[in-house]
Chain A
């Protein structure tokens, strides 16, 4: 197995408030890492550091063997943001247009060739929204929108999928189907890093779990995680406890 992500003693501070402290972790190719922690524990910031959206104040992050902020790593990362449900609500962009954006970094101008079009069509089919291709993204349900963003990452031929609480505001049935899809993609070889507040989801689907509250409290096998007191330790240190412990 080759390392996709390698964070070494990473720290990040907002003003004088430390948000991420001394975190080291690696993600191997084909891994499904679930990132859990209480509200305000620095999960989103850590994810942004891992995929190069932010640069650490101390330590280093290497993505595909390069510094994470290097632009060349971008093509291999598919990012599904937290607030997809609000994204581009009033914008006249169709699902197909949104998925085509996945090809933009490799084809900033010029005509799409058969390979580009094929990748877009295949991505739409893979996530099961090919019948919605000509709809506006703003007219989709929360779950369908998430699939459109996954399709964009697939069209980009991303090797790493980074998702930040993707199912906030998505109904239970669609959530289940969405995590099944993530599981299938992972089985096909996609490396996944997922932030999720529902620890049950993470222990069911993820192959690795990282529990964060500013510092890393646990990183390893989900089955081991549920037997340790890492969860209580991480959440106990916080004022805002998420009542999702299963």
Chain B
């Protein structure tokens, strides 16, 4: 995937405070850890960035995924990831056509957010047929992406692998900064809207009867999902990013208490992403796939443990 470096995702913004956090605080911490433990790879700057991105993804996934999974909307993450892919393709297409520099991640974010609202509108209109709505938007988005990628003479197809499968090499300092900013926004939003989101997830009709504006929170959750998907896409890849919304949450499903289940899911996510990033570096295999395999391993182990505990 070395050939993909030329088209690494560009940051949405740069901020003076974030390089300090990425390089000085986080980098310093891992440098010290590398010194103490003798684990060399903790000291490599690009691995430090990858670990920071891994931590962000581990926190973001369950924070939003817990609400999705328990509404049986696990597939919305996958749908919006494919919309994000269409966004990336559109960004690259516009750039190649008009010689402008629209950051592909920004295009991905905009398209995924619009798709999120579209999905929610389709669900509202169709009632129970959520699967169909999601499938239409998912395949439609991917179709748009593939058409746009091939519309110009293959030039922009270069580098698309990095978006499809994710890559540690694409985690530049600016990308980590973007991911950190997105994480802060998502965490703050979920923190502020936690109670209505939980009420709507647990009992949508009851929430509406209690005067909670259910439609507004449904749209908020959909847009938050779009933000998480675009943020996590860089290391996870479009095809696998939805796993981080679903698998750690499913791993923690047997916990008693919703808040605690989110905390346990974040812990499961942290284990999967850090172990996955490490294994991916050591064996030179795809980071996204390795993370998902570790996460699914954790899910299988926890499910088995719960079964044995019950018998």
Contacts and interface: CB of A to CB of B under 8 A. Distances in A.
B202 A71 contact: no
Contact of B70 (A53, A91, A108, A134): A91
B196 A97 contact: no
A52 B228 CA distance: 35
A180 B47 CA distance: 65
Counting chain B CB atoms within 10 Å of each CB, the highest count among A91, A92, A135 belongs to: A92
Interface string A52-85: 1100000000000000000111110111010000
Interface in B126-171: none
Contacts of B258: 91-94, 97
Interface residues of B, number: 28
Interface in B208-259: 208-213, 252-259
Contacts of B195: 101, 104, 107-109
Contacts of A134: 256-257
A104 B201 contact: no
B202 A87 contact: yes
Nearest to B194: A109
B206 interface: yes
A108 B196 CA distance: 7
Contact of A81 (B203, B254, B259): B203
Interface in A36-50: none
A165 to B, nearest CB: 14
Q: How large is the interface on A (under 10, 10 to 19, 20 to 34, 35 or more residues)?
A: 35 or more
B198 A72 contact: no
A91 B200 CA distance: 13
Nearest to A164: B205
Contacts of A241: none
B199 A101 contact: yes
Interface string A132-144: 0011100000000
B192 interface: yes
B202 A91 contact: yes
A67 to B, nearest CB: 13
SS of B interface (majority): helix
B48 interface: no
Contact of B261 (A53, A72, A73, A92): A92
Interface of A: 51-53, 71-75, 77-79, 81, 87-88, 90-94, 97-98, 101-102, 104-105, 107-109, 134-136, 149, 152, 156, 162
Contacts of A152: 206
Nearest to A96: B257
A73 B252 CA distance: 37
A213 B248 CA distance: 49
B256 A53 contact: no
A87 B210 CA distance: 17
A77 B205 contact: no
A90 B210 contact: no
B212 A105 contact: yes
B209 A74 contact: yes
B253 A90 contact: yes
Contact of A94 (B192, B206, B256): B256
B192 A74 contact: no
Contact of A92 (B209, B212, B260): B260
A74 B256 contact: no
Of B196, B210, B255, B258, most buried by chain A (CB within 10 Å of CB) is B210
Nearest to B261: A92
B257 A73 contact: no
A162 B253 CA distance: 31
Contacts of A104: 195-196, 198-199, 210, 212
Contacts of A71: 211, 213
B216 to A, nearest CB: 11
Contact of B257 (A77, A90, A92, A108): A92
B215 to A, nearest CB: 12
Contacts of A97: 198, 257-259
Contacts of B209: 51-53, 74, 77-79, 162
A87 B211 CA distance: 19
B132 to A, nearest CB: 20
Contacts of A75: 210-211
